[in-house]
Structure 1
Amino acid sequence: MNVAGPITAMSVVERARRAAAVASKHADDVDVQGRFPAEAVEAMKGERLLGMQIPTACGGEGASTAEIAEVCSILGQACAAAGMVFAMHQIKLSSLVSHGQDAEWHQGFMRRVANEQLLVASATTEGGIGGNLRNSICALEVADGVARLEKDATVISYGRQADAIMVTSRSNPDAAASDQMMTVFVKGQYTLDQTHVWDTMGMRGTCSDGFLFKGEAPAEQVLPKPFAEIAAQSMLANSHILWSAVWYGIAADAVARAQAFVRGAARRAPGTVPPGALRLAEVSSDLQLVKSNVLSALQQYDAAQRDEDKLSSMGFAVAMNNVKIASSQTILSIINQCLLICGILGYKNGTPFSLSRHLRDAHSAQLMISNDRILGNTSTMLLVNKQDTSLLG
């Protein structure tokens, strides 16, 4: 699909809501069938949302992380899988925007993303290392200006539907596991042989199958900065913020359904307080905490981007890790409370108050990346880094 043309004057929020309306119509079917949210992604392309982060010099809109997070939230309220696809795509673009603007090939690729609304996927997970994206077994081999890579990628979200995949690997066959680079491979430069099927409790529409990835591309497609810098300075914050924005969207829609249920009960019995009203007030407070958590992270990231040392600091990493932990844990409590409010109508599928999809999708939050792994990393950093207790950051 080529959607080249002038960017609409319509606001980002309006465009996101139009795409979300499409996503909402198909959300249940995407979940039941475990299929890619094709209609929602086409709507995102039509609204030119996929390239919104690309700098204006490369044909994009130069959207801020806050604007992108808002779109994640809006889409998450309609279809968690669609919201997560958008978030993961934008997380990969953040690495290009932050670390590829001085490289000619990557500038051209960003222009293509903005012009053609290309969908970009990620291959960081690998067989034998679990979810530790900061280590690789596979190694990039570069000879005569050509980069070759073979990777046992146990998860590549929407890999078959992507127009390009950004892949991590050791920088060369003799490099240490943590000496990594990231390479952009565009469709036609790689093959995918499926090794795992994505048949899961929730987030079924992300189609995160496993593949044996084999790619060959000009060496100029390797990002010029080590992956350690990319992970610390762009991926860490964007992943935890944008994922949290999607999760907030799931919880927000659950609260909206619970509120509609309580209002309906109040109308049926004028003058009485419905049984779920008090619980609704409590869950509203919890939802506000998640929102505050995301907004605080956005402010911290904005401030850190003006200071590269701060961006790579342990204190900033701890703060971003805490954002992910808090958001992923709290939304489960919120949605479960909403389920208690809506009762059997929330438990059943096919009602205006159904919450099964929300609850199942939300359970993925603590697993991507595993909260236990993140807490382990945070505990190590806290052994040598003082906890930031300032309200002003």
Structure 2
Amino acid sequence: MKAEGMSPFLALGLLVAGLCSRVHCVPESKPDPENGTPKDQHSRTPVDPHAIVPSNTDFAFSLYKQLVSLDPSKNVIFSPLSVSMALAFLSLGARGPTLTELLEGLKFNLTKTPEAEIHQGFQHLLQALSQPSNLLQLNVGNAMFVDEHLKLLDEFRQDAQAKFASDVFSTNFKDPEAAIVFINDYVKNKTKGKIPKLFDEHATFSVMVLVNYIYFNAKWKTPFDPKHTIESTFQVSKNKTVKVPMMSLRGLETPYFRDEELACTVVELPYTSNDSALFILPDDGRMEDVEAKLLPETLRRWRDSLAVGEGWSPASWPFPLFLVSGSQHSGPPSRPGAGGRGGRTCTNMTSSFVACVTLGLNCALCNMTASDGTGAEASSESNMG
């Protein structure tokens, strides 16, 4: 999410990516009691899921800057992880220059990280994020909706299910109204009703739709006290202010860092699960300066500098209660000078023809409340024909 003035919730646009790059240890592969080998036969060598985090972070910042540049006056909310996982899923069926363009667009250096390791990294990250927890709700997954007359290559189907845990549904795209209801109901169910309509009634389909979804919900470790919630001024832009409920935390010691060089304050607020949200608070008039310096190394420096100390209090910076949603339309990422393909990329997924893909939509929603903490949902889709 992006806002100007006194309340620039820069970090919320990266909420899901930031959490997913920091939480959950990957469980060790458990031996199969019958043959003594790990159950995951697709990962013969150990792969650190954190190996893909630097590239995911780089991609998140790059995509954020690109979206902000389209209209600096609007809020930006999206899930970088949902977009990157959808594109990585798509790359399973890509070949040749298209495969290279997709993965390098996701900020991977293919000379250092081969394609197989990238897919294994996403596979292990997906497994880690799918571990059950009593302290937070996190649901991440993928699905393919395939025309009922289309035959997928066995290799692609197996890789999609093994590496991206993808559901596969035979779908009658000749009845677009029924297909829209079918896909929307699936996403609605997976996001606990928070994204009820991924596609509107005017959507058109070809032969296949790939969907990635993320549902996250966690409670603050120290809830905001409703008694300390007051109505105050929220500066939406340079020329617009509104009255909204503002929350504050009193008596809480939480890690923060004052970055004098970039004229901003970085604050970390923990959830009950010991995961945390990172808020970046630029000084008045310095929003664009901070955005220009948003780089992976900047984030690392902030995280390494976070400490509990005097000089800042959550009570001095009130948080607004808010519910923000939005959708972004974009094509597959392209390398500078790569000569993009107009949002379309040819893939090798079927036995009957070479399909072409258009990545079209990322829907995201973030809800911040006093006691319930943060809820974030996102879904990305690719339409093929």
Q: TM-score, normalised by structure 1?
A: 0.24
Question: More relative contact order in 1 or in 2 (CA 8 Å, sep 6+)?
Answer: 2
Task: Name whichever structure is richer in strand by fraction.
Answer: 2
Task: Name whichever structure is richer in helix by fraction.
Answer: 1
